[in-house]
Amino acid sequence: MLKKLLLSSIFIIGALLSIAFVRTLMHSAPEPTVNVGLTADIDGEAATNNLAASIRFKTISHQDKEKFSPQEFEGFIKWAADTYPEFHSAMQLEMLEYTLLFKKAQVFSLKTAQSNP
């Protein structure tokens, strides 16, 4: 009886391993799909100049309030809004002291207002 049980178990395990082996050999990976996004023409020289201008602001936070320069942060915020007006018009700016948090702007439409009583 024990011998039959052991042989049956070995046979079942062998069959399962054979099925797994055959299915592994038959498996083929699906073709990867490439999601092509939108591309933008970027002026490399303008981007370099904007980066150079942005790092001139000494926006360093200090625990000591005497070393903290709010004028640098305010100047950077104004510069960024003037330099990237499309971004600032498309995003909603929330300021947490001198931390900038940009959120996707909510577009209000009459259809949305009518569907949400």
Q: Inform me whether the pLDDT recorded for 113 exceeds 50.
A: no
Q: pLDDT (tens digit, 9 = 90+) per residue, 17-56?
A: 999 999 999 988 888 888 777 777 888 999 999 999 999 8
Q: pLDDT (tens digit, 9 = 90+) per residue, 96-111?
A: 877 888 888 765 555 5
Where b means 16+ CB within 10 Å and e means fewer, 57-96 reads beeeeeeeeeeeeeeebeebbeebeeeeeeebeeeeeeee
Please give the pLDDT value at position 40.
76
Q: pLDDT (tens digit, 9 = 90+) per residue, 61-110?
A: 777 778 887 888 888 889 988 998 888 888 888 888 778 888 887 655 55
- The pTM of the full predicted model, rounded to 2 decimals, is 0.51
Please give the pLDDT value at position 8.
93
Instruction: Say how far apart CA 21 and CA 24 lie, in whole Å.
Output: 5
Please give the pLDDT value at position 21.
94
Instruction: Say how far apart CA 98 and CA 95 lie, in whole Å.
Output: 6
